[in-house]
């Protein structure tokens, strides 16, 4: 079946601009996660949705970052007033959310590479 998809695959923007990154999770998955990965590092947790609500947004670096999931499926990560330090790959993952076992296996998308000039 279809996996997690993310659009765009690449986004180049200028410092100070607003960007939106989209994630389409696997159909039926109730849990959705956003991570950020800098060059040479592992992914870092940003936010976790269970259904439509953000269950944990403790990883968002500051109030310029915001994410929504209005219908419990597609999610959008929004970054205001982008800075050069925001440049990274933004990864989205989804999981069944049924906690049937440890680490309710997360399925990752290919990521969106954001470059802020």
Partner 1 sequence: LAKTTQPISMDSYEGQEVNITCSHNNIATNDYITWYQQFPSQGPRFIIQGYKTKVTNEVASLFIPADRKSSTLSLPRVSLSDTAVYYCLVGGFNDYKLSFGAGTTVTVRA
Q: Which positions lie near partner 1, rule CB under 8 A?
A: 4, 31, 33, 35, 40-45, 48, 56, 59, 91-93, 95, 99, 101-111
Least distance CB 104 / partner 1 (angstroms): 7
CB of 34 to partner 1, least distance (A): 11
Q: At closest approach, how far in Å is the CB of 14 from partner 1?
A: 24
Which CB sits closer to partner 1, 17 or 30? Answer: 30
The nearer residue to partner 1, 36 or 116, going by C-beta atoms, is 36
Quote the CA–CA distance of 37 and 46 in Å, as a whole number: 10
CA distances (Å), origin 112, targets 12, 53, 61, 85, 101? 10, 23, 18, 15, 29
Q: Among 8, 6, 12, 9, which residue's Cα sits nearest to residue 87?
A: 12
**Least distance between partner 1 and beta carbon 12 (Å):** 16
Given a contact cutoff of 8 angstroms between Cβ atoms, the answer to whether 18 and 80 are in contact is yes
Cα–Cα distance measured from residue 20 to residue 90, given in angstroms and rounded to the nearest whole number: 11
Report the helix count and the strand count for the chain, using DSSP H and E.
Answer: 0, 11
Indicate the residue among 17 and 59 with the shorter CB distance to partner 1: 59
Nearer to partner 1, 20 or 57 (CB): 57
């Amino acid at each position: 079946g279809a996996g997690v998809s993310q659009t765009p695959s690449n986004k180049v923007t200028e410092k100070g601009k607003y960007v939106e990154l989209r994630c389409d999770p696997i159909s039926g998955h109730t849990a959705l996660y956003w991570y950020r990965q800098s060059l040479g590092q592992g992914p870092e947790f940003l936010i976790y949705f269970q259904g439509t609500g953000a269950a944990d947004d403790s990883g968002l670096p500051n109030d310029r970052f915001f994410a929504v999931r209005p219908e419990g499926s597609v999610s959008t990560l929004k970054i205001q007033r982008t800075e050069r330090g925001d440049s990274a790959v933004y990864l989205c993952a989804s999981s069944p959310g049924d906690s049937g076992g440890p680490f309710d296996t997360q399925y990752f998308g290919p990521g969106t590479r954001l470059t802020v000039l």
